[in-house]
Structure 1
Amino acid sequence: MSRNMRVSMYIFFSVFLIILSACTTKQVEVKKVPEEGYVIVRNDAVFFVGDKTFNTKVELQHYIEQQMNKEHPSDIVLSFKEKNASNQLKTGDKIKVWSSHILESYPGQMIVEKFKVVEK
């Protein structure tokens, strides 16, 4: 075999292996411990407030009213696997969220595998 032929075959197999490894499916790992928090729905976006606790509905309502005036009411936006899942939620709902990961952007985007409404 000539030198050019060997180099060509080496390049072909290298590219083939790179493409083959990129085509493998990666299994998504869902967090076993759900996060609990409140939802703020604005337009088509669902924001998640997971770092606050409220003793009364009045405190929650006051907080939501303050946050609604901001460009991003929360640091996390929920992105649902099911297309119509966000239609089940209303501002102020308390939910449990099982997610696979959070995309590092601002606001962060939490990929929601499943959720459960705890309190309306």
Structure 2
Amino acid sequence: MSEAEFSADAAAWARAHSETHLPHVAVADDTGGAEIVGMAWLALTPRVATTNSLDRWSGDLQSCYVLPEHRGNGVGGALVQAVLATARERGAEHVTVHASPRSVELYVRHGFRSSGRLLWADVAVTER
């Protein structure tokens, strides 16, 4: 798949999922023109209703990426804060993130913490 084909397909995917996957971008204009230098997505999932609330949501921070030449300047942190602010505005009860080992410290600095209660199963692997 060419870059142009991927771009068109990814844009169509984003439009089709605009209710549940909210993009955030970081823009730099230090070169005389605006350039996107980072992105992050908030994926929202409805949760089962409880006696306390019929409208419950979970968030997942996905695909947080900053161009290498813009890392270390607060761009990633600003994206994380923007995603968390959107999650609060949308009423999410919590936000999870599947972090690379290199990015764990970034997320911890911005309020994420480990939980002994959050478990996951890799369903893409062969059944055991």
Q: Please give the range of the TM-score, normalised by the shorter of the 2 chains.
A: under 0.3
Normalised to the residue count of structure 1, the TM-score between the two structures is 0.24
Normalised to the residue count of structure 2, the TM-score between the two structures is 0.22
Work out which of the two has the higher radius of gyration on C-alpha atoms and give 1 or 2.
1
For CA contacts below 8 A with separation 6 or more, give which structure has more relative contact order: 1
